[in-house]
């Protein structure tokens, strides 16, 4: 069932993103007087299609992992003399630039609308209160303490752990000090703490900002009670069931859920003897955690189970909501922030500050899409917005075969006053295909390694 949900979620996500992207090209092409021959969602043989009064075929194809807008163009096929004025290649360079840019801009617009919706409806989060600080860690050296609420990172205000992680990830590669402002309990004014860092999170795979700082978020006591058991995983194979309470592991008492998680993670492939309470009856169950390689020969254990949800105290819960007008500014700011973060991540990957293994392909996208869909509509819309931004930015990279490559050609044409030669474009196409194909294969490889 989980695989089916993941597949359905990624089809919905990619279908929406691709439809919006291609509609951007389509809408501007029509406004520029270009005849659109086909608007296709998906590749391959159409499984449904219809024609409108302009002669455009709207189609849904069998392979739902892409899409395209096919325009009238003399470079692709002969054009009747009476339709030459509707050919893409006959339009001015600025019209062609507008058509090319419209697809990525549609993705940014979709992200803005999605974030606006989240800000208007309201998002639920927890107050970023520190639960504990690891001795000797940067947080400990900087003076942060348990019970403090983090209110700003690098001088920018934060309202949730997600905000904090985004600010910390944006500082990858920093050396010197990270500035963190925190509010003591019952205090009215925050204090700034300076945390020493050196090559912050460089090549960490994956980046774990809070763990690297030595900060553990505050959580309510989580009893080691199973709230979820995934089919086919180690927990289910051992006979564990939802509602089971883990009392002991190899004779050692289990304090709470995180204590149990630590025991499992430290025991990949090792058989553990569990004392379990089920329906007021103690049971002994043998459990062998799976082995998950996380790089450099290091492995952690996993069992495919989740904790039973617990209620957070009201004082640790926060609702973030804005009025329709204020939400416009917030959604624009969030889209801009995520765009800059994505661009910066690409730059840092090229210069070696971020490991290429953080690249995500279709398998990881499917898993994250499925997980966010199961978590709730709020998470799903947030993931949709971020993926839409990523798609917009990636398409604007100056790589031939992408929108950004065509944009680069047209900008050169606008400056020179004449088009880039067909020979140069053909060479660029081959280089672009090799680059994109290589990146796709690399992303797929890292996807399979994560499995």
Which of 128, 187, 205 is CA-nearest to residue 449?
205
Q: For 2-28, how does the pLDDT look when each residue is reduced to its tens digit (9 = 90+)? A: 567 677 777 778 888 989 999 999 999
Q: What is the 3-state secondary structure (H, E, C) of 310-346?
A: CCCCHHHEEEECCCHHHHHHHHHHHHHHHHHHHHHHH
Q: What is the dihedral of CA 126, 131, 133, 134, to 10 degrees?
A: -110
* Letter string b/e over residues 381-394, b meaning 16 or more CB atoms within 10 A of that residue's CB: bbbbbbbbbbbbbb
CA atoms within a 13 Å half-sphere pointing along the CA-CB vector of 176: 5
Rounded CA-CA distance 345/358 in Å is 10
CB 20 within 8 A of CB 110: yes
Q: In Å, how far from its chain's centre is CA 99?
A: 27
**pLDDT at residue number 368:** 66
pTM: 0.80
**pLDDT at residue number 90:** 93
**pLDDT at residue number 355:** 73
For 441, residues 6+ apart whose C-beta sits below 8 A from its C-beta are none
Q: For 338-356, how does the pLDDT look when each residue is reduced to its tens digit (9 = 90+)? A: 999 899 888 888 887 877 7
**pLDDT at residue number 178:** 93
**pLDDT at residue number 374:** 66
CB 359 within 8 A of CB 442: yes
- Is 22 among the residues known to form the active site? yes
**pLDDT at residue number 451:** 59
- What dotted CATH number matches 226-310? 2.30.42.10
Q: Which of 22, 185, 314, 337 is catalytic?
A: 22
Q: Is the pLDDT of residue 215 over 80?
A: yes
For 412, residues 6+ apart whose C-beta sits below 8 A from its C-beta are 420
Task: Give the mean pLDDT of the chain.
Answer: 88
Other CB atoms closer than 10 Å to residue 36's CB: what's the count? 23
**pLDDT at residue number 315:** 87
For 171, residues 6+ apart whose C-beta sits below 8 A from its C-beta are 154, 178, 197, 200, 201
Helix (H) or strand (E) holding 437: helix 422-450
- Architecture category of domain 130-217 in CATH: Roll (2.30)
Q: For 137-149, how does the pLDDT look when each residue is reduced to its tens digit (9 = 90+)? A: 999 999 999 999 9
Rounded CA-CA distance 90/98 in Å is 14
The domains spanning 130-217 and 226-310 adopt the same CATH topology: yes
For 110, residues 6+ apart whose C-beta sits below 8 A from its C-beta are 16, 17, 20, 384, 385, 388
Kindly state the tokens that stand for 280: 């007021």
Domain coordinates in residue numbering, the chain: 130-217, 226-310
User: Percentage of the chain surpassing pLDDT 70?
Assistant: 93
Q: What is the mean pLDDT of residues 190-217?
A: 86
- Classify residue 148 by its DSSP letter: P
Q: Strand, coil or helix: what is 380? A: helix
Helix (H) or strand (E) holding 163: helix 161-170
Range picked from 289-293, 307-311, 357-361, 395-399 for highest mean pLDDT: 395-399
């Amino acid at each position: 069932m989980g695989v089916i949900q993941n597949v359905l979620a990624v089809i919905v996500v990619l279908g929406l993103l691709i439809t919006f992207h291609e509609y951007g090209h389509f809408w501007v092409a029509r406004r520029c007087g270009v005849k659109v021959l086909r608007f296709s969602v998906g590749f391959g043989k159409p499984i449904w299609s219809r024609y409108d009064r302009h002669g455009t075929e709207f189609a849904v194809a069998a392979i739902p992992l892409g899409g395209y807008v096919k325009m009238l163009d003399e470079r692709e096929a002969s054009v009747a003399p009476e339709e030459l004025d509707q050919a893409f290649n006959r339009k001015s360079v600025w019209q062609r630039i507008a058509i090319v840019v419209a697809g990525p801009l549609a993705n940014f617009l979709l992200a803005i609308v999605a974030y606006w919706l989240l800000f208007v409806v309201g998002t639920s989060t927890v107050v970023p209160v520190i639960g504990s600080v690891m001795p000797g860690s940067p947080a400990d050296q900087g003076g942060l303490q348990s019970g403090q609420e983090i209110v700003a990172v690098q001088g920018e205000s934060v309202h949730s752990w997600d905000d904090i992680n985004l600010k910390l990830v944006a500082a990858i590669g920093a050396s010197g000090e990270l500035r963190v402002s925190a509010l003591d309990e019952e205090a009215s004014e925050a204090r700034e703490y300076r945390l020493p860092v050196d090559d912050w999170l460089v090549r960490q795979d994956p980046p774990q900002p809070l763990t690297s700082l030595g900060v553990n978020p505050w959580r309510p006591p989580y009893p080691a009670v199973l709230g979820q058991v995934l089919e086919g995983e180690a927990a289910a194979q051992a006979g564990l069931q939802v509602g089971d309470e883990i009392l002991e592991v190899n004779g050692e008492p289990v304090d709470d859920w995180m204590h149990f998680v630590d025991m499992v993670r430290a025991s990949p492939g090792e058989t553990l003897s569990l004392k379990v309470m089920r329906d007021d009856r103690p049971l002994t169950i043998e459990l062998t955690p799976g082995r998950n390689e996380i790089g450099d020969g290091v492995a952690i254990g996993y069992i495919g189970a989740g904790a039973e949800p617990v209620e957070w105290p009201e004082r640790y819960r926060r609702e973030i909501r804005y009025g329709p007008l204020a939400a416009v500014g917030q959604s624009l700011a969030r889209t801009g922030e995520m765009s800059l973060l994505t661009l910066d991540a690409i730059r840092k990957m090229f210069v070696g500050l971020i490991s290429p293994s953080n690249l995500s392909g279709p398998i990881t996208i499917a898993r994250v899409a499925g997980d966010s869909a199961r978590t709730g509509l709020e998470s799903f819309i947030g993931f949709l917005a971020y993926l839409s931004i990523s798609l917009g930015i990636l398409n604007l990279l100056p790589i031939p075969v992408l929108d950004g490559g065509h944009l680069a050609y047209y900008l050169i044409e606008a400056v020179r006053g004449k088009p880039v030669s067909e020979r140069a474009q053909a060479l660029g196409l081959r280089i672009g295909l090799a680059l994109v194909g290589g990146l796709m294969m690399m992303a797929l490889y890292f996807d399979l390694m994560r499995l």
